Structure 1
Amino acid sequence: MSTRAVSVALTLTVMIPCAMTQPSTDQPPFPLALSQAQEAWVQQTLAGLSLEERVGQMIFPAVPWDVRKHRREFERVAALAGTIGVGGFIVGGGTAAQRVPVINELQARSDLPLLICADFEAGVGLVWSDATPLPRAMAQAATGDPGAARLAGEITARESRLCGVHWPLVPICDVNINPDNPIINVRSYGEDVETVSRFAVAFTEGVQSAGAIACAKHFPGHGDTATDSHMTLAVVDAGRDRLESVEFPPFAAAIRGGVGSVMSSHIWLPALMEGEGQIPATVSRNVMTGLLRGEMGFGGLVTTDSMRMRGVTELYGPGEAAVRAVQAGVDCILVSQDDEAAWRAIIDAVRAGEIGEAAIARSVERVLRAKAWLGLHEGGTQIDVDAALAGLQSPAAMATARGLTRRSITVIRDHDSALPVDPAAHRRVLHLAIFDESPRWRPSSLEPFTETLARRFGQVRRQVVFLEPKESIVEEFEDIPWETTGEEIQRSWGLTPAVAERIREEAREADLIAITTHIRIAANKGSISLSEESVALVRELLALGRPAILVSFGSPYVLAELPEAAIMIATYDWSPLTCEAAAEAITGEFAVTGRLPVTLPGLAPRGAGLTIPARR
């Protein structure tokens, strides 16, 4: 940090001399091996940092998604690289073409190299549309092959590093044993502890073998919650024995496998927090130090989940939340509601004796070791934008992604062995797409399926309905005049009686009906079910006696709401490659071999799935 930047940052604080406390040595070892030169840089850099600079390294703000639209906010956030010397940033969505120059600008503003992270849970292509889209974790598990997870990890890490992202914040180690979980669902490798453990370890190996840092989340396990911690403090009210047999093992396996970092969760686990009150795990010393550091022996980097989530903000302001998290044993404060307030509060807590200087030193040492392991201490943080973009979506990466996606497709039911369908026998196809209210749907979530069918069948009519149509959603699918009212949107895109009758008429004229459900897992959504009206309509269509295929894009659990369907296909995702593969599976372009990683209550057990040979 420059002298000028320090003077600006310290207008509200008093500089502490550089004779700072050094970290103690009675800690679990850092899981990523450093060379002597890397460790020397860590210790030399740490020794030269003041308290203010050390705490700055623990702060990780979020960069606005649309920098051009929110330039003032970007300038405010980016300035933190100089004023408080943040340790890094988390970057959001858009494209690599938009984001890589922003990362370069951030790096240029910082005296120390920045650690850049992003939520690349299904590859870089999940967040940046010009990168490779990889199958969701549950889809990877549906292949039955942990090697699929390792390949996904390698591609994620390679494309991340190409773009200047070092820490892709994966894998998810949550065991999704609650079918009503509104936020984990397909983000998990499934409901089986051993499967989640093996796939998480394989993904970790892939990420770190390709030079990025993996992150096991959401510790100590978010798979059995019925609420979204983005919306409130979620609860896992299970006893210690159950936690040790279900929630803990995937994290323990990832730690044994050398995972470099762990992310906390904003959930309350009464069995682990005796004497601490009703608080999130993120601020529980019992969990973050006693369990993670002590019992599990984890010596790597520990970060919070986003501190803007209501599981934290309902209880604490940004300063108190940051202090409590550091007291609990966390190293990195990710996406505070007020990054500067969090920084100041931690400094003040050290001065007041509420946080030890040695604890700060240990945390910053881990941040610096992560940077050194990544090679950031050698410089070269500026990314060649053209070279990065040229390396994304390589033919090899796309072929791997397409192959993994095909292997994940799961046929749960095929009465009368109707699959694969012969296009010559079905010339009038109706495709009914039922979307939830997620604001992130795009035509790319639909068109690959319809267009792939259209290339094989003579006529495909498409009807699209939204469970809760809003202009911000449906405007992506059709030009909407500015004067269009909410009532008009509901009449055109909602499942009104008139719309339902129109769909029935189309179905009566069809000789094949393809019904796709698009139930997306997203923050602040809170629901993963179909509406009563949509279920009733689908049942009417199924009762017409026409051949009908039910395909779930996203949550597979919705299939259990329609047990009448004679043909059911689960995909676990909604990427363009997934949509394309589902249509190809219907017509037998490849052999379908996927197996369910979860139980669909009342419908199918874990491991269910039919092998459907390719059509000759």
Structure 2
Amino acid sequence: MRNKISRLFILSMALFGLTLQAQESTKKSPEFLQYTNSKWVDSIMKELTPKERIAQLIMVAAYSNRDNEHKEEILKLINEQKIGGLIFFQGDPETQLKLMNDYQSASKVPLLGAIDAEWGLGMRLDNTISYPYQMALGAIRDDSLVYDLGQEVARQIKRTGLHLNFAPVVDVNNNPNNPVINYRSFGENKENVSAKGIAYMRGMQDANLLTTAKHFPGHGDTDTDSHYALPQINHPFERLDSLEMYPFKELIDAGIGGVMVAHLNIPALDSTGVPSTLSKSIITGILKDSLGFEGLIVTDAMNMKGVTKGNEPGIVDKDAILAGNDLLEFTEDVPKTIEEVSKAIKQGLISQKQLDERVRKILAVKQWVGLNQFKAQSPKNILKEINTADAKFLNRKLVEASLTVLKNENSILPIRKLDTLKIASISFGASKQTEFQKTLNLYTEVKNFQLKADAKASDIEKIKEKLSAYNLVIGGIHDDSRFPRNTMKFSQPVQDFIAELTEKENNIFSYFKNPYSLNKLDKIENTAGLILTYQDNETTQDLAAQLIFGGVGANGRLPVSIGKKFKSGDGMDVKGKIRFKYTLPEDAGMNSEKLFGGVDSLMQEAIKKKATPGGQILVAKDGKIVLHKAYGYHEYSDTIKVKKTDLYDLASVTKISSALPALMKLHDEGKFKLDAGIDDYLPYFKNSNKAGVPFRQILTHQARFKPWIPYWKNTLRKNGSYKWFTFKKDSSSRFPVKVSGDLWLHRNYQKKMFKAIKKSELEDEAKYKYSGLVFYLLPSIVEEISGEDFRKYINENFYDKLGATTLGYNPLERFEKSRIVPTEHDYLFRRKPIHGMVHDEGAIMMGGVSANAGLFSNANDLAKLMQMYLNMGEYAGERYIEEETLKEWSTAQFPDNDNRRGIGFDKPSLEYEGESSNTAKDASKASFGHTGFTGIYAWVDPEEDLLYLFLSNRVLPSRENTRLYQLNARTKIQQVLYDAIE
């Protein structure tokens, strides 16, 4: 007896201290309380019978994925019992809103609609966004992002007809084995939990959505799930007060509207053993009296075994009301509850006045959320209005901000020096290529392996044998659950393999599982690079891969401790934005709807009108790829859809993508001069009419050179057959140049081509006239100056470093034919369809290697070279060309001579000429690029930091197909980009 009195005295003194603390703090009252005695609330109170008043405190479960019988059950409770609200669970937004409209129409008093949407509507409803779980949010250092999340979640919830979110969770999760809170918590640091909880709460409540802090007085240190049993917390009061209850006190002071009470047995707060939901000592004594909370007190679900075990429905709900709760969530027996509360009033266990005060509180909430002026919302366009571009962009921002780097030895992140690396990736726990691996391959060539969670030693040995060829291994450790459980289901051989890899010097792991489970992987802390994403989905995988290559950075901090491996607060900053970021248009200040809608419609029109069978389009702004899509098919009659990884013949875009960067580099080294002529580098031209003509004029197309020479025609007899000394059907030492599968050109024919260029006449006047003649000579000039093979030179100095692995000549040497988009059906020269070999006749007679044409690439890899140009010679922290050089070469050299051209680069028309202009109306005069005969367009605009690529095979079935030009599709699409910039 004495011990009991002592405990009560200590508790009372502690509560007195809490009272003083509450009085001394600057506490903001819930906003809805201003309406407790409003005219509207008064009018409703007058209309309600005593039992109807009790019913206002009851909220039952509703579903939008059930049959009409369920709907009728809810309508019966509304019509007969006059319940106060509904909490919605599984379903979809459109059906939920329709149901809510129907339920509101049937209700005497507007219904309060609630939902558990801790990470957004995706927690409950199909076809909606799931934002990061709270543990991931706990890693974010910018709380304003969490506030933005609150604003957006509120907007979405309200659009579905609801008014109350049972969030945020502010339990301090200090037990790694917690089965019910865990990743739903902001973490183990009470200050961080409080700050994130306040930011999330304020975001929602500033948007007029009521929130509840849960699960009071703190569910973080339990190893039992209260859905299935009653957890017991045995900490002393001092610990509970200073830690578990700390965030609740902070949110109460910040003005939170509601608090949800958990089902917990906490002897230090109530020695009777009753669940906290039914404890007057906890709810009235601590939450109301000591902490001074005046807002809405809500029970956790009254169907959970933590409260129902040993308690009868209806009676247990009555006990919850007597304990001090205002709102009963998930009442299972409504009539019984109303009956039992009525009895309690008659028995004097609770007065009518006390009950009426709670009813007024409920009604005040309803007025605060606008239910006093309820209007049904239309379900039309609801999915579009919920899943907006801004809503999706917010999700990516949150994931990016949560990325946490726990190891970065020797600054392995982000990866640099791609030309020195052979990279392999292994997705552990996957059976097919992951989104993580797909994104890795956007940056450079990565060999992908997958290893199932239950893999055997023999499976691992096969991968080990292949890994010997690689000097960097990137591992993705994946989850097998929708939720990031604290489990490790990898077989022992797989775990041993991971441990073995961590001991190697060059390895990076991205961990897509619950951070607590890191403690179950031996030696994972030894890896050179370790990234934590907190959960496993396409967005986390995508952004983790981008982090590895520097598309994004990281500054997240670990919100929990992981055994002895890492402690709460660990994490390091990693710089991003050194390579492309793959993202949404809104990230670059562009409008998704305008961009995608405009580009898609124009591209579909071009395909429909057979201007091209398909294509790839890539748009980047501010170094961010905001549109990267493939359209249509390889051929009109084909069933092969264009993929973003397919290669296109770049035609004349080769001019600015091969020899031109080489010449600029050589110019920077003082080895190539613009005032020199062809003869300065190829003595063969010394006695020609082209000797002494400066390259500045040649590369700006005003050197009086003929536009082109049909070299291939000189190989034909009058009857159309090939001259015997030009082609043979089989290769040999004399005929080594492959022109098609059964056509091989004489080894000396290139000399004939050079001779034809040398002897060609000059135009009469030195004015702008596009000519490709010199570009056949440029590879030889580069070789003459550099002393290196041309292909080797541009590969080593540009393509390999950029990670542009598909950009190159003669693609059949490296790629399957199925990845290469065909071009023309050539019935004049090669007399067969052209597929996998350069379309340009002159280039193929050069063995496919010319600066006039011959390059193949996909849009993604060509974009890396073009972005380097846009960056004025720099990419991924490496300088390729001096800024002054690129500025000069991309500037019009002779505009006074009516010549728009830069040095090698094309420029916009000097005066915009409508649809006949070579660029969009809004392209700046600083923009530059090139177009290609096969339907290619590559353009950058430094003033808008904008890059645009259009790859197509418009020459199919024949070059006579000029519909792409007639439609002006490429420049119309380019104008859409400017229109989409906000």
**Equivalent in 508, 517, 539 of residue 496 of structure 2:** 539
The residue matched to 1:246 in structure 2 has which SS? helix
Change (3 A) 1:322 1:179: same
Aligned residue pairs, count: 540
Q: Which residue does 2:58 correspond to in 1?
A: 59
> Is 1:362 the counterpart of 2:357 in the alignment?
yes
Change (3 A) 1:246 1:279: same
8 Å contact kept, 1:507–1:513: no
Aligned mates of 2:275, 2:153 — CA distance in 1: 30
Q: Which letter maps to 1:596?
A: L
Aligned mates of 1:156, 1:166 — CA distance in 2: 11
Q: Where do residues 259-270 of structure 1 align in structure 2 (5 Å cutoff)?
A: 259-270=256-267
Q: Which letter maps to 1:552?
A: Y
Q: Where do residues 304-319 of structure 1 align in structure 2 (5 Å cutoff)?
A: 304-319=299-314
How large is the Cα RMSD of the aligned pairs? 2.8
8 Å contact kept, 1:453–1:460: no
* CA-to-aligned-CA distance 1:369-396 (integer Å, 9 cap, x gap): 110001101121x222125333212222
* CA-to-aligned-CA distance 1:566-605 (integer Å, 9 cap, x gap): 1322222345433322232233211111111111111111
8 Å contact kept, 1:449–1:583: yes
Q: Which residue does 1:93 correspond to in 2?
A: 90
Change (3 A) 1:530 1:351: same
Q: Provide the TM-score with structure 1 as the length reference.
A: 0.81
Aligned mates of 2:87, 2:112 — CA distance in 1: 9
Q: Which letter maps to 1:611?
A: D
Q: Where do residues 337-352 of structure 1 align in structure 2 (5 Å cutoff)?
A: 337-352=332-347
Q: Which residue does 1:373 correspond to in 2?
A: 368
8 Å contact kept, 1:58–1:87: yes
8 Å contact kept, 1:92–1:127: yes
Task: Single out whichever of 87-96 and 544-553 deviates more from structure 2.
Answer: 544-553
1:453 CA displacement:
3.6
**Equivalent in 377, 390, 394 of residue 388 of structure 2:** 394
Larger Rg: 2
Aligned mates of 2:435, 2:100 — CA distance in 1: 32
Q: Which residue does 1:449 correspond to in 2?
A: 436
> Is 1:514 the counterpart of 2:475 in the alignment?
yes
1:219 CA displacement:
0.4
Aligned mates of 1:118, 1:34 — CA distance in 2: 22
Aligned mates of 2:97, 2:35 — CA distance in 1: 31
Aligned mates of 2:480, 2:51 — CA distance in 1: 45
**Equivalent in 421, 429, 445 of residue 425 of structure 2:** 429
Aligned mates of 1:179, 1:44 — CA distance in 2: 51
**Equivalent in 512, 523, 526 of residue 564 of structure 1:** 523
1:286 CA displacement:
0.4
* CA-to-aligned-CA distance 1:303-352 (integer Å, 9 cap, x gap): 11111211112231212210111111011111133344333333333344
Aligned mates of 1:320, 1:454 — CA distance in 2: 61
Q: Which residue does 1:419 correspond to in 2?
A: 413
* CA-to-aligned-CA distance 1:494-522 (integer Å, 9 cap, x gap): x275xx64355345434535232427696
Change (3 A) 1:139 1:609: same
Q: Which letter maps to 1:54?
A: R
8 Å contact kept, 1:133–1:575: no
> Is 1:552 the counterpart of 2:511 in the alignment?
yes
8 Å contact kept, 2:426–2:475: yes
8 Å contact kept, 1:41–1:377: yes
The residue matched to 1:271 in structure 2 has which SS? coil
Aligned mates of 1:554, 1:310 — CA distance in 2: 29
8 Å contact kept, 2:119–2:130: yes
1:35 CA displacement:
6.2
The residue matched to 1:514 in structure 2 has which SS? strand
> Is 1:125 the counterpart of 2:122 in the alignment?
yes
1:99 CA displacement:
2.4
Aligned mates of 1:245, 1:207 — CA distance in 2: 27
Change (3 A) 1:554 1:316: farther
Change (3 A) 1:156 1:588: same
The residue matched to 2:31 in structure 1 has which SS? coil
Aligned mates of 1:364, 1:34 — CA distance in 2: 12
Aligned mates of 2:488, 2:36 — CA distance in 1: 57
Change (3 A) 1:599 1:29: closer
1:118 CA displacement:
0.9
Aligned mates of 1:272, 1:188 — CA distance in 2: 23
The residue matched to 2:380 in structure 1 has which SS? helix
> Is 1:601 the counterpart of 2:560 in the alignment?
no
The residue matched to 2:281 in structure 1 has which SS? helix
8 Å contact kept, 1:307–1:313: yes
8 Å contact kept, 1:216–1:261: yes
* CA-to-aligned-CA distance 1:100-131 (integer Å, 9 cap, x gap): 22222222221211111111111223333433
Q: Which residue does 2:459 correspond to in 1?
A: 502
Change (3 A) 1:112 1:572: same
1:404 CA displacement:
1.9
Aligned mates of 2:284, 2:492 — CA distance in 1: 47
> Is 1:231 the counterpart of 2:189 in the alignment?
no
Q: Where do residues 22-421 of structure 1 align in structure 2 (5 Å cutoff)?
A: 31-33=30-32, 39-64=38-63, 66-67=65-66, 70-274=67-271, 277-380=272-375, 382-421=376-415
Q: Which residue does 2:699 correspond to in 1?
A: none
Aligned mates of 1:315, 1:520 — CA distance in 2: 33
Q: Structure 1 unaligned runs (5+)?
A: 1-27, 436-442, 466-494
8 Å contact kept, 2:172–2:187: yes
1:60 CA displacement:
1.0
Q: Which letter maps to 1:429?
A: S
Q: Which letter maps to 1:515?
A: G
Aligned mates of 1:333, 1:449 — CA distance in 2: 44
Aligned mates of 1:461, 1:126 — CA distance in 2: 32
Aligned mates of 1:326, 1:36 — CA distance in 2: 22
